[in-house]
Amino acid sequence: MEVLSLCPFRAGALIWQAAPGAYSLTVIVKATFTIVPGGEATVAETQVPVTTLAEGGVEDLSPLKPRVDVLVQGATDPEARVAVEGGSLPAGGPVPPQAPSRRLLLGDEAYAWAQGVLGGEARTAGPPPEGFDFAFFQCAPREQRIDLLRIAASIGMDRILPTPGRIETRLPQRRPHAFRVDPKGGRVTEIVLRCDTLCIDAAAKTMVLTFRGVADLKSGAEADVGKIVVAAHPEGKRIRAERIDRFLRLGESLEEDVEAGLNLLEMRHDAVLIAPKSGDTMVLPERVEAPPITFIDPAPPDVSQRQRTRTLPLPTDRDEVGLSNPAAALPFRRPEDPIAAPPLPPPPVSPPSPKLIAEPLTEDTTLDMPKAAAPPSSREIGRRVEPLPNAPAPPPSTRTPATPAIKPPIKPPAPLGPRLGKPAAPSAGPPRPSPPRPGPVQGGKVAAPAAVSARVSAAAPAPAPASAPADPPPPSSPAPFDPASIPIERCATIAAELRHRPDGRDALLALNALSSASWASVERHWADAMDQEAAQGQRKLLLAYDAAYHATQERLGLRVGLVEHARLQVAAERGTTADVLAELGLEASDQARLGRVWTQRLVDDPRLMSKLAAAIGAARAS
């Protein structure tokens, strides 16, 4: 279990069982402030650590405190008093666990469980006995307990400090926030902290505030806890879980624009988009009276002009579907209806096209021919006409037949013959031309005109020329670049090398068969993939990217080992993170990545915990 403090305050945690099989996590944060007479207390340079009774310290690792303890250490005047939250309390020190006022609260079994918890064995102590009184962990006398200690509360001290008279100070606005990062999905959740201990050190002129928060766990294994992150804004602003998540993933600052967007669920519905960034008060826009809207009632339609709906007969022939006025077929409103929109002008009327002949001519078949020459009557069609005896043959017609007003070529009619049964349905094919004018009767048969014969000859397909050698197919265009073809580990390796060796950018991209545009698409592809995975509570891609990036940094000789990780943790406690990062040649994003990499390594190999603890101790001693 890793506890990462991003502020000067010290933090710790313990796992314990609130009930059989129900594990809980308690986070403890201790903040030490220097007393400023007449002003607001400031953050002390030396922060008091979280200790256990086994280490000779105070009772920091209490799993739960129902009320707030107000303690004073080093006060020599028996008349010393503390004024806090509207009450005046005695200035006494802590009561030891074996004192009768505390020991008599528990039986032997419950007292043994409490001793094990305070000694640092909470995870293996099992659940507390039934009916356990958690007031046992209140180490202040009963008369020195209050229900609530608010942030920025005024503290009055009478005869406590060496300075004579009454000293007034005020608790600072700065308060810690604790978060838990799930080891599997990387989800960040806040653990609400509550101040339950105020300890005034008269000799050091300091105040120590102890904050405590409790969260549920699925199991008692430290690997299932994940990372505990503690942060505090210098101005006392609230830090939300999404800000911690962006800090761990992207290395963004925790102090810039913390409350840039207030929680929409905490706003009024009419002030969400106009809430200022500078405070919590919602400034509503001035109400502007809009001019009244005048509605003009349209004149009622003339009912007398309406007609009853007419039903038009459906056409019986497929060639009769064309209408000169399509609006006339709509049975809704007449065009002169004042409510309806004005009718559209009718489309231009085209002359009726002649029927296409797709079947043999019969006695009932008529041909639409120009009026210049009437076709033979139906009695002359389909009946053999015998020439008169001794009659000369009629001379051939020299008149050129009129051409129908149809642009497509005209197909000649089929040969005349006897009347047959029902003609077969025309087969689908190219548009069929209109029939030409029949020629004169010659030898008992109707002869086709010369012009039609010429057109038929012209329409006959010409013999295909000898096939020429086929042209080679055009060269196929190269397939578009797929950014997913570059694995995420390779993407991280290239990104690390480009960052730490910018002079060889062109050579490195060429070595990986990449251009500047394709490399940008690869980075964008995997960044979007990691964002989508994070939205689903997963971070497999992120961990894979971090591992490859970190391995490349180690190969390039950068100092990103366990010792540097410990130094950065201590630097976060002291507020010197920027100086240590500059000394190591790293950036803020490297700190977050380093934390994720080593957290995963500690989960995979718990034996590294002792090495990390030793490295943190050495960094704090330096």
257-276 pLDDT tens trace: 544 444 444 444 343 333 33
Q: What's the chain's average pLDDT?
A: 74
Cα–Cα distance between 565 and 578 in angstroms, integer?
14
- Other CB atoms within a 10 A radius of the CB of residue 573 amount to 23
Cα–Cα distance between 498 and 508 in angstroms, integer?
8
pLDDT score of 90 more than 60: yes
Final residue belonging to a domain, choices 243, 259, 275: 259
Averaged pLDDT, 77-98:
90
**286 belongs to a structural domain:** no
What's the confidence (pLDDT) of residue 613? 84
Rg (the chain; Cα; Å): 48
**375 belongs to a structural domain:** no
User: DSSP for 573-602?
Assistant: HHT-HHHHHHHHT--HHHHHHHHHHHHHHH
What's the confidence (pLDDT) of residue 232? 92
Cα–Cα distance between 207 and 195 in angstroms, integer?
13
What's the confidence (pLDDT) of residue 86? 86
Final residue belonging to a domain, choices 218, 236, 259: 259
Encoded amino acid at 94, one letter: P
Cα–Cα distance between 116 and 107 in angstroms, integer?
14
- Listed in sequence order, the residues at least 6 apart from 614 whose beta carbon sits closer than 8 Å to its beta carbon are none
What's the confidence (pLDDT) of residue 470? 56
pLDDT score of 347 more than 80: no
Cα–Cα distance between 209 and 211 in angstroms, integer?
7
Per-residue confidence at 306, pLDDT binned at 50, 70, 90?
very low
**89 belongs to a structural domain:** yes
**151 belongs to a structural domain:** yes
Strand, helix or coil for residue 604: helix
Looking at 88-92, 174-178, 505-509, 588-592, which range is the least confident one? 588-592
pLDDT score of 92 more than 80: yes
**72 belongs to a structural domain:** yes
What's the confidence (pLDDT) of residue 231? 93
Percentage above 70 pLDDT, the chain: 63
Smallest CA-to-CA distance from 258 within 159, 175, 146 is with 175
What's the confidence (pLDDT) of residue 263? 43
- Of the two residues 442 and 493, the one the predictor is more confident about is 493
Cα–Cα distance between 14 and 137 in angstroms, integer?
15
Averaged pLDDT, 137-164:
90
**423 belongs to a structural domain:** no
Cα–Cα distance between 454 and 451 in angstroms, integer?
5
pLDDT score of 119 more than 90: no
Per-residue confidence at 387, pLDDT binned at 50, 70, 90?
low
Cα–Cα distance between 609 and 602 in angstroms, integer?
6
- Of the two residues 258 and 78, the one the predictor is more confident about is 78
**332 belongs to a structural domain:** no
Backbone angles phi, psi at 382, to 5 degrees: 80, 0
Looking at 334-348, 453-467, 486-500, 549-563, which range is the least confident one? 453-467
Domain count, the chain: 2
Looking at 34-48, 192-206, 489-503, 534-548, which range is the least confident one? 534-548
- Of the two residues 283 and 518, the one the predictor is more confident about is 518
- Of the two residues 589 and 456, the one the predictor is more confident about is 589
Domain that holds residue 106: 2-259
What's the confidence (pLDDT) of residue 578? 83
Looking at 98-107, 237-246, 462-471, 593-602, which range is the least confident one? 462-471
What's the confidence (pLDDT) of residue 551? 92
Dump strand ranges (E) for 106-192: 145-146, 154-158, 166-170, 177-181, 188-191
What's the confidence (pLDDT) of residue 298? 52
Looking at mean pLDDT, say which of 106-120, 368-382, 561-575 comes out highest. 106-120
Looking at 51-60, 106-115, 408-417, 535-544, which range is the least confident one? 408-417
The pTM of the full predicted model, rounded to 2 decimals, is 0.47
Final residue belonging to a domain, choices 224, 259, 294: 259
**592 belongs to a structural domain:** yes
pLDDT score of 26 more than 60: yes
